[in-house]
Amino acid sequence: MAEAVQEEISVLSAIYCEPGEFEVLSRSESGITVMIQTSVQRLTESEIRLRLIFDLPVTYPSSLPNVSVSSEELTRMQCKELRDKLLGQASQHLSEPMIHDLVLWAQQNLNTLIGDSISDEIHPLSADTVTDEGTWTLLLHLDHMRAKDRYIKTVEKWTADLNLTGKLMFMGKIILILLQGGRSSIREYMVLQKSCKVDVDSSGKKCKEKMISVLCEVKLPEEQKRLSTFEVKVYPSVSELQREFETAGLSTVFTDYVQGIL
């Protein structure tokens, strides 16, 4: 294998370093086969576990890898559709390392990769919920944030990409993320939040967000205007934090969901 490919394998093993996440299945004169196991956390806390196998021929990355997708949570047809779309994405990365990009792309686009069938089977919604999206408010509670600057930049990018408004709020040790926007965009955000390595662990290694809780998800009344921007704010006191919720028309959200964790 070319030196660049060996380097890519080394990088992958460093990124997917948790037990069972990455494995070189075989090496031969015809190429190398690697396996990556990852998961996508749904808003309902259910998880889609993906097992992705990449057969890299000796001509890779000048030629496409062969991709195999399996998952206990998806049907065989859904796995095939995901595989086909990953190959289509791979064709845009010819002649450059692509495996990590393909895994991230699958994680970040799983909601739309295989259509509404995933939502129907894994996160069933009533017809009214699907057709009447409206504006929704989601409130998240983070336990901690070690890589603060990087974390904030990532959240700002995600909210901008998904056209979400709201606030990242710090008050003492309390960290809250308040989001407003279309429900599908909010769910896309949660996929990113729980499937991407957004923080670092105690040893400084990149890690996924595992200590986050959904405090509430409520539909905004039609007569109430959503927040116009996304901003990061620090509050010196509980009263200042409460006033922020009241100004945003979310007094009951503060009373019902925030007071209990202060």
Residue 261: pLDDT above 70? yes
Identify whether the C-beta of residue 61 lies closer than 8 Å to the C-beta of residue 51.
no
- What would the pLDDT profile of 14-40 be if each residue is shown by its tens digit? 888 888 899 999 888 889 999 999 887
Is 115 exposed, middle or buried (CB count within 10 Å of its CB: 0-12, 13-18, 19+)? Answer: exposed
Residue 245: pLDDT above 80? yes
Residue type, 171: M
Higher-confidence residue of 114 and 14: namely 14
- What pLDDT was estimated at residue 16? 87
Instruction: Give the pLDDT mean for 79-94.
Output: 89
Question: Strands 31-41, 47-57: parallel, antiparallel or unpaired by DSSP?
Answer: antiparallel
The C-alpha atoms of residue 203 and residue 171 are separated, in whole angstroms, by 26
Q: What is the pLDDT confidence band of residue 195, given thresholds at 50, 70 and 90?
A: confident
Q: Spell out the SS3 assignment of 66-106.
A: EEEEECCCCCHHHHHHHHHHHHHHHHHHCCCCCHHHHHHHH
Residue type, 81: E
Residue 128: pLDDT above 60? no
The domain limits of the chain are 3-122, 132-261
Contacts of 85 (CB under 8 A, 6+ apart): 113, 114
The C-alpha atoms of residue 164 and residue 157 are separated, in whole angstroms, by 10
- What pLDDT was estimated at residue 46? 67
Task: Give the architecture-level CATH label for domain 132-261.
Answer: 2-Layer Sandwich (3.30)
- What pLDDT was estimated at residue 119? 41
At the topology level, CATH places domain 3-122 in: Ubiquitin Conjugating Enzyme (3.10.110)
Identify whether the C-beta of residue 194 lies closer than 8 Å to the C-beta of residue 154.
no
- What would the pLDDT profile of 166-176 be if each residue is shown by its tens digit? 999 999 999 99
The C-alpha atoms of residue 116 and residue 155 are separated, in whole angstroms, by 26
- Would you list the DSSP string of 36-66? EEEEEE-TTS-EEEEEEEEEEETTTTTSPPE
Higher-confidence residue of 159 and 198: namely 159
Residue 47: pLDDT above 50? yes
Residue 53: pLDDT above 90? yes
Residue 124: pLDDT above 60? no
Identify each DSSP E strand in 96-229 by its residue range. 136-142, 165-171, 174-181, 199-200, 206-207, 212-219
Q: What is the pLDDT confidence band of residue 122, given thresholds at 50, 70 and 90?
A: very low
- What pairs with residue 138 in β-bridges? 179, 217
Q: Which of 25-29, 88-92, 125-129, 237-241 has the highest mean pLDDT?
A: 237-241
> Which H or E run includes 234?
strand 230-234
Q: What is the pLDDT confidence band of residue 116, given thresholds at 50, 70 and 90?
A: very low
Same topology between domain 3-122 and domain 132-261: no
